[in-house]
Amino acid sequence: MLAFTLRRMIQAIGVMLAVGIIAFAMFRFAGDPVNQMVSIDTSAAERAAIRKSLGLDDPIIVEFAHYFANAAQFKFGVSYQFRLPVADLLKERMPATLELATCATILAMVFGILMGVYSALRRDTLLAKAFQAISLIGISLPTFLIGILLIYLFSVTLGWLPSFGRGEVVKIGWWSTGLLTLSGLKALIMPSITLGLFQMTLIMRLVRAEMLEVLRTDYIRFARARGLTTRAIHFGHALKNTLVPVITVTGLQFGSVIAFAIITETVFQWPGMGLLFVQAVQNVDIPIMAAYLLMVSLIFVTINLVVDILYTVVDPRLRATISRPA
Amino acid sequence: MSDAVVPHKTDAGAPAAHASASGWFTRVIESDLFYSFCRSKLTITAALVTLLFFLLAIFAPLISVQNPFDPAQLQLINSRIPPLWTADGQTPFLLGTDEQGRDVLSAILYGLRISLVVGVLGVAFSGALGILLGLIAGYVGGAVDSLIMRIADVQLTFPAILIALLVNGVVKSVFGNRLDAASMLGVLVLAIGLSFWVQYARTVRGSVLVEKSKDYIAAAQLIGLPAPVIMLRHVLPNTMSPILVIATINLALAIITEATLSFLGSGMPDTMPSLGTLIRIGNNYLFSGEWWIVAFPGFALAALILSINLLGDWLRDALNPKLR
Amino acid sequence: MTQPVLSLRNLQVEFKTRRERLRAIDGISFDIAKGEVLGVVGESGAGKSVTGSAVVGLIDPPGRIAGGEIHLSGLRIDNLPPEEMRKIRGKRIGMIFQDPLTSLNPLYRIGDQIVETIRTHIGMSEQAARKRAIDLLAEVGIPAPEKRIDGYPHEFSGGMRQRVVIALAICAEPELIIADEPTTALDVSVQAQIIALIKRLGRDHGTAVMLVTHDMGVIAETCDRVAVMYSGRIAEIGPVQDVIRNPLHPYAKGLMGAIPTLTGEDLRLVQIPGSMPRLSAIPPGCPFNPRCAFAFERCRVERPEPIQRGAQAVACHLYDSSLKESAA
């Protein structure tokens, strides 16, 4: 178990290093950082001085080590557009994105699992077919169209919900939360639905497929032959076996949810990291792009690691194969 | 073993014998009969709609009342005209016009062209890249294989849209922020191609590994035939159907990605709008009541993706009955 | 005559497909008495397992019981409502499946699976059920059951898992056990132990056993009577020694001839030409006629009904007394 955890951690560090190289390459070669920092009438000598102070004259390896050491301390340089440390910008924006992504994931899981279980157990009912249709639409409609549609319905036409922003936020330490005010909660509704819909579709399809698969297995047949109640079979045996892979996938998807938030945040002008990133891409603000890539990768890798380790706790079979000395 | 399934000799030639295999198989078909019937009608509709979209895109110049990419043809006097059937509608603007006096229908038809061109080229590029890398990984093996597949693993954990945005941002920073519309199209194809190659590479690599272990490769090498050529001849036909399925589903994804990039302002510029760009522009007029500027491009995009997805679903089921 | 534990009367099972109705079981009848072990033997697809599934009411749609009756100790069970049938499954009829590796839910401790089954059928406290589970595990020969009860299925070997499956099948003291190829998936060395266990349990508890297998060796060793199935019908049924020593039906003769003997008198293995027809292509008359060396005109048109010959019953026109002269 310890060896497994260690191996996974080394792998995770490897991935972070690889992403770090890409981020560094972007930072260093895509656009000259000096040019972005100075005005046209800066003298060559001044430029050279800045170049030296930024360490751009060092050998590449040293520069990379420097960049990586800084990144490990969450020092990502200074944004070209805002003239502010990227780390501060990200720190300010992160709570908004995490709250949105968490709400969307919870929403997606609750409804995705309910709908998936229903459509697996009552395969031929009208409602199950309606769910199937919804899932196809959920996959086919681009996220931003869903957002626009919701805004048109609930903001423009009905005027119930705000179409942009986070509403009122409350500061808890450096963390700003929208969960404690009514306007904050109202502002959260549509973005969460927009962001969660695709995940919900995914979860629903996965739950349905897994459940149908599980219901065909021998142990379910044997459970029926043992005379267990349908309830015990469906919601005890089948659901438990279904949920193990579903929760894993959902956990792994949390990283993508954060990345997908780019689109939702743009539609709803949600002041999160995604919006910051989109603006950075438009304005070629490389330090922010590189830092965002690193942050998202870090979240991805951490989640992967945690899910992998949790998985072994849930599934006794894996625990056995892992603890067995290889 | 008495449980072995032996081909049936006694009544070979009897018509019933070569009818659709055993009762279990027919049983499976039977249970989904109603569903598949419904779906096949749906599939036909989807195919027709997709075909219609392609035809509309190809013949856009013949159908459109103006060339929306040509600023000379746009007149501000015609701006923000509602659709023809509303009280304030004006001919020839069937679906109304936008802020710049651009006919929405013409813009959709031309935007459709861009979406389809980027989608098809993006899929072709990612397919070619993926197949090539898959062949190399599978055939060469060793360090090359693990390098390619590690990159694939890492990339697969990131959503395509993020990769496309990054590629986009890097290209822009290298070539400066002012790329003309036509080269932007190339950038989008590049971004999409680099985002979607992984699935092809994995499929092809798997197939190469299977073929590689077979005796005929060893035999061919023994008599001095170039093994890569022979493998290619066996691997490509074997992987045709999964590649076709991946390509169809990826076409929908590529179109979504292009539209999303354009919507986010990192894709096609306002002067040469794709469907995503049109939706971004139209989104600004949602609150002032000019709903048609966003609604019709949005509807066209949704219908296009939905019908391609339906085709992809059907293709997957038809080519691989095991997946249901 | 005492009442049989299980009695099938002209049972028919159909699978409805788009084109046709396939008859997987076409009118079979037999009884199993208390404490008796009936072997059901035949090639795969002969309808052995479907018969077992039909008895416990677990035929998956589009399959269904199309006719006939099933009685369990006098109670007709083929037309019971699903909930009534569920209460019988596991309580009055225990079932053992072929593959012990997949029969147990991998995510539940075996003790929990046994306790769950016991408590479903018998009103018992958690502790009492657990104690009973330990006793059951001991009875089926699992060493240190009070420790093993908290193990997960993957911690048990194939043979041990099959013992757990058997413990689950007998946990509510059923009148009837249906064992569907219980040894096929096991190592040869373990097979004999499992067969001995099933036999012992049947004897100790007076349980009737229906043992489905394609292994004539198992039948010879375990069963009191044997039914030979072919294309969803019973070709021959009778006491196991009679059927093995003196098979009457040409198919049974072929089947017995296909068992290698160690005596060395006759080393020539008899092979039956061809293979069993598919359900969609069962010929009219006797289903065996295309492969039968003795087939005559009547076999191709008229379906043979069982004919009593001593303790054996055989469905073959060769034994029709009105046509004695044609018997070989």
C155–A237 C-beta distance less than 8 A = no
Nearest chain C residue to A324 by CA distance is: C155
**Kind of pairing, strands C233-239 and C225-230?**
antiparallel
C19, C24, C63: residue with CB nearest B26 = C19
Distance CA B307, CA B313 (A): 10
A226, A244, A320: residue with CB nearest C90 = A226
pTM of the full predicted structure?
A: 0.78
Average pLDDT for A307-326? 61
A145, A281, A300: residue with CB nearest B302 = A145
Host H or E run for residue A70: helix A60-72
| Alpha helices per DSSP H over chain B | 23-31, 33-58, 60-63, 104-140, 142-156, 160-175, 181-195, 198-212, 215-222, 227-263, 275-283, 292-319
Distance CA C207, CA C33 (A): 9
- DSSP label at residue C236: E
Other C-beta atoms closer than 10 Å to the C-beta of A182 total: 9
**Kind of pairing, strands A175-177 and C75-76?**
unpaired
Phi/psi region, residue B13 (left: phi>0; alpha: psi -120 to 50; beta: rest), is: left
- DSSP label at residue C270: P
- pLDDT of A318 reads 60
Find residue C22's DSSP bridge partners: C15
Grouping H, G, I as helix, E, B as strand and the rest as coil, residue B30 is: helix
CA nearest neighbour of C252 among C301, C294, C204: C294
Average pLDDT for B142-146? 85
Average pLDDT for B290-295? 82
- pLDDT of A31 reads 58
Tokens 């007029």 sit on residue: B285
Give the count of alpha carbons within 13 A of C149, CB side only.
23
Neighbours of chain A (3+ CB pairs under 8 A): B, C
| B-chain residues near C216 (CB < 8 A) | none
- Judged against a pLDDT cut of 60, whether residue B295 lies above it is answered with yes
CA nearest neighbour of C251 among C37, C46, C50: C46
Least confident residue range of B7-11, B61-65, C151-155: B7-11
- pLDDT of B126 reads 94
Digit-coded pLDDT (tens) for A51-79: 676 666 667 777 778 777 887 777 777 77
C56, C107, C169: residue with CB nearest A241 = C107
B161–A262 C-beta distance less than 8 A = yes
End-to-end CA distance of chain A: 11
- pLDDT of B143 reads 85
What lies within 8 Å, CB to CB, of B133 at 6+ separation is: B148, B152, B197, B201
Burial of B37 (C-beta count, 10 Å sphere; 0-12/13-18/19+):
exposed
The alpha carbon torsion through B262, B268, B271, B277 (nearest 10 deg) reads -20
- Judged against a pLDDT cut of 70, whether residue B120 lies above it is answered with yes
pLDDT band at A191 (very low <50, low <70, confident <90, very high): very high
Mean of per-residue pLDDT scores for chain C: 84
Longest dimension (CA), chain B: 86
Of A185 and B36, which is predicted with more confidence? Answer: A185
- Chain centre to alpha carbon of residue C64: 18
Interface of C with B (CB under 8 A): 15-19, 22, 24, 43-44, 61-63, 214, 258, 274-275, 277-281, 283, 290-291
A156–B287 C-beta distance less than 8 A = yes
- pLDDT of B7 reads 36
Average pLDDT for C147-172? 88
| Alpha helices per DSSP H over C62-212 | 82-88, 100-103, 110-121, 126-139, 145-148, 158-170, 188-205
Digit-coded pLDDT (tens) for B242-284: 888 889 889 999 999 999 988 988 888 888 888 998 888 888 8
Digit-coded pLDDT (tens) for A16-46: 888 888 888 877 776 566 665 666 666 777 7
CA nearest neighbour of C217 among C199, C197, C254, C191: C191
A241–C117 C-beta distance less than 8 A = no
Interface of B with A (CB under 8 A): 150, 154, 157-159, 161-162, 165-166, 168-170, 172-174, 177, 252, 256, 259-260, 263-266, 276, 279, 283, 286-287, 291, 294, 298, 301-302, 305-306, 309-310, 313
Average pLDDT for B41-47? 81
Phi/psi region, residue C282 (left: phi>0; alpha: psi -120 to 50; beta: rest), is: beta
Shortest Cα distance, chain A CAs vs residue C245, angstroms: 36
Nearest chain A residue to C99 by CA distance is: A218
Grouping H, G, I as helix, E, B as strand and the rest as coil, residue C6 is: strand
- pLDDT of A264 reads 92
B169, B256, B260: residue with CB nearest A284 = B169
Copy the structure tokens of residue C79: 């037309």
Other C-beta atoms closer than 10 Å to the C-beta of C293 total: 10
CA nearest neighbour of A145 among B182, C271, C46, B298: B298
- pLDDT of A41 reads 66
| A-chain residues near B259 (CB < 8 A) | 142, 144
CA nearest neighbour of A311 among A254, A258, A238, A250: A250
B252–A30 C-beta distance less than 8 A = no
Mean of per-residue pLDDT scores for chain A: 82
Digit-coded pLDDT (tens) for A121-166: 888 888 988 888 888 888 888 889 999 989 888 988 888 888 888 8
CB pairs under 8 A between A and C: 75
Of B220 and A286, which is predicted with more confidence? Answer: A286
| B-chain residues near C259 (CB < 8 A) | none
pLDDT band at B1 (very low <50, low <70, confident <90, very high): very low
Nearest chain C residue to A219 by CA distance is: C103
A219, A232, A315: residue with CB nearest C102 = A219
B3, B20, B22: residue with CB nearest C279 = B22
- For chain C, what percent of residues have pLDDT higher than 90? 6
Digit-coded pLDDT (tens) for C79-123: 888 888 888 898 899 998 888 888 888 888 988 999 999 988 888
Find residue C16's DSSP bridge partners: C21
A222–C90 C-beta distance less than 8 A = no
Most confident of A39-43, B119-123, B223-227, B232-236: B119-123
Of A123 and C19, which is predicted with more confidence? Answer: A123
Nearest chain C residue to B32 by CA distance is: C18
Neighbours of chain C (3+ CB pairs under 8 A): A, B
Copy the structure tokens of residue C67: 């006719």
| B-chain residues near C274 (CB < 8 A) | 8-10
Digit-coded pLDDT (tens) for C171-225: 888 899 998 888 887 888 888 888 888 888 888 888 999 999 888 888 888 889 9
A59 interfaces chain C, CB cutoff of 8 Å: no
- Judged against a pLDDT cut of 50, whether residue C41 lies above it is answered with yes
- Judged against a pLDDT cut of 70, whether residue A326 lies above it is answered with no
- Judged against a pLDDT cut of 80, whether residue C53 lies above it is answered with yes
Burial of A71 (C-beta count, 10 Å sphere; 0-12/13-18/19+):
buried
Shortest Cα distance, chain B CAs vs residue A263, angstroms: 7
| A-chain residues near B305 (CB < 8 A) | 140-142
pLDDT band at A85 (very low <50, low <70, confident <90, very high): confident
- pLDDT of B23 reads 53
- Judged against a pLDDT cut of 90, whether residue A103 lies above it is answered with yes
A15, A26, A136: residue with CB nearest B309 = A136
Nearest chain C residue to B9 by CA distance is: C274
List phi, psi (to 5°) of C99. -110, 100
Q: What ipTM was assigned to the predicted interfaces of this complex? A: 0.82
A230 interfaces chain C, CB cutoff of 8 Å: yes
Nearest chain C residue to B33 by CA distance is: C18
Nearest chain C residue to B17 by CA distance is: C281
- pLDDT of A70 reads 80
Phi/psi region, residue A285 (left: phi>0; alpha: psi -120 to 50; beta: rest), is: beta
- Chain centre to alpha carbon of residue A186: 22
Shortest Cα distance, chain C CAs vs residue B40, angstroms: 17
Shortest Cα distance, chain A CAs vs residue B161, angstroms: 8
Residues 27-86 of B with CB under 8 A from C: 27, 29-31, 33
- Judged against a pLDDT cut of 60, whether residue C327 lies above it is answered with no
- pLDDT of B255 reads 93
Nearest chain C residue to A238 by CA distance is: C105
Average pLDDT for C232-258? 85
What lies within 8 Å, CB to CB, of B103 at 6+ separation is: B64, B65, B66, B68, B78, B92, B93, B94, B95, B97
